[in-house]
Structure 1
Amino acid sequence: MRKAWFHVLGWATLVLSSASVSAADQPTPPAHAHHWSYAGANGPGHWGSLDDADVACGKGEQQSPIDLDSRTAKTGKSGKFHINYQPGAVTLLNNGHTVEAEVGDAADTVTFEGASYRLAQFHFHAPSEHSIDGKHFPLEIHFVNKDAEGHITVVGVLVRAGAENKNLAAVFNALPAHETPAGEHADKPAQVDLAAVLPSEHKAFVYNGSLTTPPCTEGVHWIVLAQPVEMSRAQIGNFAKIFHDNHRPLQKINGRQIDSETY
């Protein structure tokens, strides 16, 4: 009987010890990883309370996106900014919140008030985050540009349903449907003429805002081009199958000035 008791005790100790080793071997989840979403308890209305780093999402006074009212926009001087994008290759990834196209060409830049910002990536939101005169669009593209100190200028391009967008066909034919594992990208880079993606009309709404995802950092220069570009319903639908709604609702303007600029 005593021998049997020690046998049971030894087996239990081995099980507990193995469990402890297994738990210790598990990787620690990265901080701030995918705890926010676009719906439910972790949706936009709760972003500001999910993490101390995201407090601006709830308490910031210059948040994005906003409604861009063409009737009250102040006419600004031309030449405040210039967009210089070139044809090149982009690599695609699905980060769990959108499809992102990473850009490696240092020649893709935006000049804003004399400072140069290099294009880092562009991504998509459906439906659009910004609206013009109260009207939303099926899709919005954000071109994220950064200067040497990490300051951000975002060029927003609104998309309406219409003809197929051949300039973005290579991207929308290769959208990754599932979240991309860390360190991996699309097998084959997509070739995109970024300059040709932009609308032909060089008018834009310019204002000071924030990132539209956590941590909702403020101090972001926004250039939202006034003329939408077209994409086919099939192209828009290809993205909506993956992310049917990944937009942040409109935020309060709080007295901010919106300029109407030409570049």
Structure 2
Amino acid sequence: MNRLLRSVTFLTLGILSAGATANEWSYEGASAPEHWGELSPDYFMCSKGMNQSPVDITTVMKTRLTPLKPRYSQSPASLSHEGFTVMANFAASSKNSVKIDGELFILQQLHFHAPSENTLAGKHFPLEMHLVHRNAKNETAVLAVMFDTGKPNPELQKLWHEMPREADETVALAQDVDISRLLPARNGYYRFSGSLTTPPCTEGVRWLVMKAPLSLSAEQLETLTRVLPHENNRPVQPRHGRLIVE
């Protein structure tokens, strides 16, 4: 990946801040999640924050959430291996957007965690996809989709067919991927306030976790996990009295 594209990618994720480098944190050993807050002053929220993600979704309050109507009509432009995940990158466009609280959030990228980061009553799913959005005020919203093993997923297979095998590798996608088909038909979701799940663990992120999971085959799951060095899920964080609504 060229230097400019790599910088934009990491800033979109919120991973890098002034003076930080991409290899300062990991999911194992002395730089594992429980140590993130010690690795850099920029990462203090990882250990001191009171609204951190992911969470265990349980004890949910029933409300009347506004139905989600994502508009995803533009295929990702490229697929990159970030070392800790595989990421599909998009050109900023209102063709890929969702309205939340009356504000337009533009899809920036999507990436994967195996196993899932958020859990449902203590249950991990084999895979979780995060669709990361930003609004005009540079606020972040993450739409999360869970996957269970079962039937192969045709749209994931298009991504997997192009998947880079080595860290720092980026490939242009040769075929279009219909992102709308990576959302469940039933649009019920859980909502809560949280954070980025990677350093600097910035809070104020609007989390929307779809209730209905999609499926991927065991072979598709293995294809992803084979190119990642280890599991890439941050453990669930304390809720500190936060409400999760549905």
Tell me, which stretches of 5 or more residues in structure 1 are unaligned? 1-29
SS of 2:177 mapped into structure 1: strand
Q: Which has the larger radius of gyration?
A: 1
The question of whether the paired residues in 2 share the 8 Å contact of 1:82 and 1:112 is answered with no
1:152 & 1:142 partners in 2: Cα distance? Answer: 12
1:89–1:190 CA contact under 8 A, matched in 2: no
Per the alignment, residue 91 of structure 1 pairs with 78
Q: Counterpart amino acid of 1:240? A: T
Match of 2:156 among 168, 171, 187: 168
**Superposed displacement of residue 177, structure 1:** 1.4
> Which residue number in structure 1 is paired with residue 119 of structure 2?
131
Match of 1:203 in 2: 188
Distance 1:89 1:145 in 2: 14
Q: Which runs of 4+ in 1 moved over 6 A?
A: none
CA shift at 1:32, angstroms? Answer: 2.3
Distance in 2 (alpha carbons) for counterparts of 1:175 and 1:73 = 37
Instruction: Give the whole-Å Cα distance in 2 for the aligned partners of 1:196 and 1:105.
Output: 20
Counterpart of 2:44 (choices 49, 55, 59) is 55
In structure 2, C-alpha distance between the alignment counterparts of 1:189 and 1:54, rounded to whole Å: 37
Residues in 2 aligned to 1:31 and 1:209: alpha-carbon distance in whole angstroms: 22
Partner SS for 2:171: coil
Secondary structure of the corresponding residue to residue 24 of structure 2: coil
Pick from 27, 30, 43: which aligns with 1:38? Answer: 27
Query: What is the root-mean-square deviation in Å for CA atoms of aligned residues?
Result: 1.4
Distance apart, 1:132 and its partner CA: 0.7
Counterparts of 1:206 and 1:78, CA distance in 2: 9
Q: Is the Cα–Cα contact under 8 Å of residues 129 and 249 in structure 1 kept in the other structure?
A: yes
Alignment correspondent of 1:251: 237
Aligned positions, number: 226
State the one-letter code of the partner of 2:133.
N
Residue of structure 1 aligned with 2:224, choices 239, 242, 245? 239
Q: CA offsets, 1:5-42, max 9 Å, x none?
A: xxxxxxxxxxxxxxxxxxxxxxxxx7322110001000
Tell whether 2:78 aligns with 1:78. no
| TM-score relative to the length of structure 1 | 0.82
Rounded to whole Å, the distance in 2 between the matches of 1:120 and 1:62 is 23
Identify the residue that residue 223 of structure 1 maps to in structure 2: 208
Structure 2 counterpart of 1:56, one-letter code: M
Q: Which residue in 2 is equivalent to 1:192?
A: 177
Measured in 2, the distance between the counterparts of 1:80 and 1:89 equals 25
Question: How many Å separate the matches in 2 of 1:165 and 1:40?
Answer: 34
| CA offset digits 1:130-158 (Å, max 9, x no partner) | 11111101110000000122100000001
On the 8 A contact 2:192/2:244 being kept in 1, the answer is: yes
Shift in Å, 1:80? 5.9
- Residue 87 of structure 1 contacts residue 195 of structure 1 at CA under 8 Å; is this kept in 2? no
Q: Equivalent residues in 2 for 1:137-156 (5 A)? A: 137-156=125-144
- Structure 2 residues not aligned, in runs of 5+: 1-18
SS in 2 for 1:58: helix
Q: Which residue of 2 aligns with 1:13?
A: none
- 2:53 corresponds in structure 1 to 64
Letter of the 2:219 counterpart: A
Identity %: 36
Contact 1:34–1:96 (CA under 8 A) maintained in structure 2: no
